[in-house]
Amino acid sequence: MSETRFWLIRHALVEENARAILYGVMDVQLCETTLLEQAPMYQALAARLPRPARWVVTPLSRTARTAAAIFQAGYPVVEPRVEPHLIEQSLGEWQGLPHADLPSKLEKPSHAFWPLAGDEKPPGGESMLEVVDRAGKALERLAVDHAGEDVVIVSHGGTIRAAVAHALGVAPDNALHLSIQNLSLTRLERHPSGWRVVCVNELPGY
């Protein structure tokens, strides 16, 4: 059996008001201005991504909208599969809070590059440790379902870090040090012998 090749893309930038809060799995909208300004990045992604490929999005509209923008930029239209287990980290009762209000609610020091530590679980939400577990299981299942194929996944910053954590077998706090920018590309391969990380946070057109 040959390797399954995963092409993970973080969704486009969300609108300004959403960026001021902890939005987690809230279904916030994309920034319309940035969608227009970053047209060359969508064109670069459309040219860079493999053809043919399976496409996967999450239940949140910002991933489907990002995929649609890539199709509009020149990639042949594909009907994406919706994968709930690749959704962003749920922040539970903390969703909707301004960023400045979070520190007083934390039981542990926040991560330097994420709102909370990898093992902190918000009330009614999930820890990044749990995200690594569910995202890892989803990737393993997709690797079996699409063995030997290319799979393009439009997902979220936290989930892509979790996917890398699963591939490398590292703790969430280690993976949270990775920069995963909007529209960046992270490539993973599932070989019969294990996972391989090809690249992380590759920016289209650069």
- Going residue by residue through the chain (206 aa), what tens digit of pLDDT does each one get? 589 999 999 999 999 999 999 999 999 999 999 999 999 999 999 999 999 999 999 999 999 999 999 999 999 999 999 999 999 999 999 999 999 999 899 998 989 999 999 999 999 999 999 999 999 999 999 999 999 999 999 999 999 999 999 999 999 999 999 999 999 999 999 999 999 999 999 998 76
Give this prediction's pTM.
0.96
Q: Exposed/middle/buried for 151, CB within 10 Å: 0-12, 13-18, 19+?
A: buried
90-109: b or e for each residue (b if 16 or more CB lie within 10 Å)?
Answer: bbeebbebeeeebeeeeeee
What CATH number is attached to the domain comprising 82?
3.40.50.1240
* CA nearest neighbour of 14 among 1, 4, 25: 25
Cis geometry, peptide bond prior to residue 52 (ω within 30 degrees of 0): yes
Dump strand ranges (E) for 31-155. 54-57, 81-82, 150-155
For residue 144, what are the domain limits? 4-202
Instruction: Domain count for the chain, please give it.
Output: 1
